[in-house]
Amino acid sequence: MKKISDYAAEAEMALRALKLSEKEPASLYGPVDYALSSGGKRLRPGLVMMSAESFGSEKALDASRNAAAGIEMFHNFTLLHDDVMDHSEMRRGRESVWKKWDATTAILSGDTMLTLATQLVSKVEDDKLRSVLDTFNHMALEVYEGQRLDLDFENADSVNSDIYIEMIRKKTGALLGAAGAIGAIIAGAPEKDVAAMATFGEMLGIAFQIQDDWLDTYGDSSTFGKPIGGDILNDKKTFLLVKAMEADAGTVDALKVTMKELKGEAKIKAVTRIYEKLNLNEVTRQAVSFYTKQALKALKGTSLSEEKREPFRLLVDKLTGRKK
């Protein structure tokens, strides 16, 4: 059985086939090549190809290579622009594009990546073009809306967990949903399967993001890859913090004072103690479990055989059961 890692490796080859390092002017395409050659797990384009082959055949897999590359190109375009917005100096262990060059380069080469992505996903048969393109553009708008909501959250006094879920559905879920859906469209799958794969990806994205929030507080720093508690130190509006802010007024006041007065390890410990009091470790795991089940339910609703559903189930395990 082929796994997501096999498809991810094929997606990597599709990206290399673009030969971005040869395109002129190098001042425009060089940063695109730099961003795309810095690794990344290629799960999103892998999902496009896995979906295409699962709903179709080897022919559908071949037909999905460019669209898969386009989905990864889109993802990396958002990273270039997000890094400018967030002033993030590092990305995948290397300097981010704006840091290595400048903000102008990150903006303009990012724009270039969005158009290249649109070109790549458009390289499908004529009778699939409208559907693939509509799915792609709709997804793109959801990603921007999610990013905007995320930015607005940081300045908002209160955020409720329903809006938080809607934000991560758009910011993280929409792209995974489009990846699954576009693969199915290319394979000629019926509308019902396409819609189910969109839901599968969206729910998986939500589960993944909540799990990521959980790991930042409850993970093991040696396997998580970054220090535990970073989100708490940065007052980041995670699922845990948003849930905590929905508690009784006394707890919320205590939490606000703690966040404002304390620093460093003391802050991490005190906030975590409040999370414990609210049973948020358990509440958060349950939320991950809920959205994971939603993803699996959508998967089961497709016309895929149990055998063909297996690599998708393994992808779910990989993204939501992971320790790092």
User: Residue 90 — φ and ψ, nearest 5°?
Assistant: -120, 150
Least CB distance from residue 101 to its own copies, whole Å?
A: 11
**How is residue 20 annotated by DSSP?**
G
Q: Which tokens hold the place of 305?
A: 């055989």
CA–CA distance, 255 with 260 (Å, rounded to integer): 9
User: In this complex, which beta carbon is closest to its own copies, that of residue 22 or of residue 306?
Assistant: 22
Of 145, 230, 251, 285, the one binding its own copies (CB under 8 A) is 145
Scan residues 59-98 and list those touching its own copies (CB under 8 A): 81, 84-85
Of 2, 5, 62, 108, the one binding its own copies (CB under 8 A) is 108
User: In this complex, which beta carbon is closest to its own copies, that of residue 7 or of residue 98?
Assistant: 98
Instruction: Tell me the window of 20-28, 172-180, 196-204, 229-237 that interacts with its own copies (CB under 8 A).
Output: 20-28
Contact in structure between 70 and 49 (CB atoms under 8 Å): no
Binding mask 148-167 for its own copies (x = CB under 8 A): xx-xx---------------
Instruction: Tell me the window of 136-144, 216-224, 261-269, 289-297 that interacts with its own copies (CB under 8 A).
Output: 136-144
The SS3 assignment for 17 reads: coil
**How is residue 90 annotated by DSSP?**
E
CA–CA distance, 240 with 230 (Å, rounded to integer): 13
E-only strand ranges, the chain: 90-91, 94-95
Residues 6 or more apart whose CB falls under 8 angstroms from that of 30 comprise 21
| 270 scored as a contact of its own copies (CB under 8 A) | no
- Applying CB under 8 A, the residues found at the interface with its own copies are 25, 27-28, 81, 84-85, 103-104, 107-108, 110-112, 114-116, 118-119, 122, 126, 129-130, 133-134, 137, 140-141, 144-145, 147-149, 151-152
